[in-house]
A and B are shown apart, each in its own frame.
Chain A
Amino acid sequence: MDFENFSAGTSIMHAADVRLKLIGALFFSVVVALCHSLSGAGLALLIGLVLLAGARLAPLQVARRLLLVNLFLLFFWGTLPFSAAGPAFDFGLLHISQAGVRLATLVTLKTNAIIMVFLALVATSSMVAIGHGLAALRLPNRLCVLLLFTYRYIFVLQQEYQRLRRAALLRGFVPATSLHTYRTYGNLLGMTLVKSWQRGIRVQQAMQLRGFQGRFYLLTPPAVRGRDWLLFVLLLTAASAVAVTELTSRAGGCP
């Protein structure tokens, strides 16, 4: 499974406190999401690149992630330039709307900036650390525990599904567009569901036997260190810089 590819590492981004990284990433994303100016979004992308470089992730894997996002953005490029109103570049029959091109550029810049910041700040923490961080930030205990349990058992369920699928393949099952294939996949999924249900019951029993009474305790993460605060202040400053650029470009009246 393509999962937690980036959480192991020794960069400053990996070492930083997960709580501050989460707040920083959230603050930054909100500022970027509210941007309307190309200059603001461009600065955000630049900051995203710097943070990403600071995380020292495997470039190829990062490129693959970004490619995935940008494939999705192609849909915007395929529609916006041809559908937005206003002045247009004319190439014979082809009218390419200036506003459309600008909008597609803006969306591309903002999306990539936010993804880069999340790769640099959030993907550099393990799921377990993120769950604990969210709980320490006073998010509802139930939601955090739900996240951690999902993470704990998704692998077990995936293995169970793979075991069943392998058993089917070993008995000569070749997926095709046929009723037999659909029925087989239906059975595989159904059986995985039943097994998950049964496992859920066993886990609940194990919890009961150890005195579970509705409250799931998470141990608190270690205290925030000085250099974590430094990174946090830098993040807030960077986000503020984007906000200021945005506001000045609005005040200046440029679109």
Chain B
Amino acid sequence: MTSVKLADISYGPPGGSLLFNNLSLEIGTERVGLIGPNGSGKTTLFYIIMGLLRPDKGAVLLNGRQVDDGRAWRQLRRQVGFLFQDADDQLFSPTVLEDVGFGPLNIGYSESEARQRAEATLESLGLAGFEDRITHQLSGGEKKLVALATILVMAPDILLLDEPTNNLDPTTRKRLVAILEKLNLPMVIISHDFDFLAKTTDVIYSLEQGHLHRSESSHLHSHPHAHPYGEHPHDHGG
């Protein structure tokens, strides 16, 4: 089983005040929801896990070994999939098939193998027939699902999802919940969507002033909330 550990991380953006101070976190067993106010550093934490930002102090450990050179980072990036907040940043290839096949080609699969894996992944997400679509012409929801396909095709052991339900319509959101449930991978999800987190995660960490506070996600749904079109029958998902 893959585990990623953040050990005593301190980080502050250049010229800014310290965002985390001696923060530690282990992922790889649970499905974790990560909440926190805007600007509290949730996305920054993901960037540090993936090695896109280097912490001022502390280390990232993959299966107990410190990740400190290019090879180790490449290994970590194969095992941890990161879904960006904005799918337009993630889908850069001309066609859907090429975008999904991009990762497999980079890690050494032949063109026909990459094609096969990409097609299988699209199929498993209910996106069969999307292969030749032009990426920028997809709808917002389709973009998000294709972006997820580009991550899943790498067969990651852990997922990091940054606000995956932003701007999704209820149907696509439901589809995403079903997909994540079926995957049953350890993951960390940043979201402000409590209802979504209650459905997809086991435990919630809230990030406030550089510290993580743990609570069970079953406590999440106990507050009153409003629905648009509330007079129509709707599903609270248990």
Task: Please give the residue numbers on chain A whose beta carbons come within 8 Å of chain B beta carbons, in ascending order.
Answer: 126, 128, 131-132, 148-149, 151-153, 155-156, 199, 202-203, 205-213, 215, 217-220
Contact = CB atoms under 8 A, between A and B. Distances in A.
Given A206-B84, A208-B52, A217-B114, 17 more contacts: A128-B94, A148-B94, A149-B92, A152-B136, A199-B88, A205-B52, A205-B89, A206-B92, A209-B77, A210-B150, A210-B154, A211-B77, A211-B103, A217-B98, A217-B106, A217-B111, A219-B97
A210 B106 contact: yes
Contacts, number: 73
A250 B238 CA distance: 87
A219 B136 contact: no
5 contacts: A156-B88, A205-B52, A211-B77, A217-B111, A219-B111
A213 B114 CA distance: 16
Interface string B57-99: 0000000000000000010011000101010111011110110
Interface residues of B, number: 31
B128 interface: no
Contacts of A217: 98, 101-102, 105-106, 111, 114
Q: What 7 pairs across the A-B complex have the smallest Cβ distances?
A: A211-B106, A210-B103, A202-B89, A128-B94, A217-B105, A206-B90, A211-B107
A202 B86 contact: yes
A211 B101 contact: no
A13 to B, nearest CB: 20
B218 to A, nearest CB: 32
Nearest to A127: B94
Contacts of A209: 50, 52, 77, 82
Nearest to A205: B52
Nearest to A199: B89
User: What is the predominant secondary structure among interface residues of chain A facing chain B?
Assistant: helix
Contact of A218 (B77, B98, B103, B154): B98
A126 B94 CA distance: 11
A211 B89 contact: no
A80 B39 CA distance: 65
B142 to A, nearest CB: 16
A213 B106 contact: yes
A210 B84 CA distance: 12
A219 B77 CA distance: 24
B95 A212 contact: no
A222 to B, nearest CB: 11
B121 interface: no
B94 A152 contact: yes
Contacts of A206: 84, 89-90, 92
B121 to A, nearest CB: 13
Most chain B CB within 10 A, of A156, A202, A206, is at A206
A220 B88 contact: no
A128 B94 CA distance: 6
B48 to A, nearest CB: 13
Contacts of B201: none
Nearest to B103: A210
Given A151-B94, A217-B111, A212 B82 contact: no
Interface string B161-176: 0000000000000000
A219 B150 contact: no
A202 B84 contact: yes
Nearest to A126: B134
Contacts of A211: 74, 77-78, 103, 106-107, 154
Contacts of B84: 202, 206
Given A126-B134, A156-B136, A205-B52, A219 B101 contact: yes
B92 A203 contact: yes
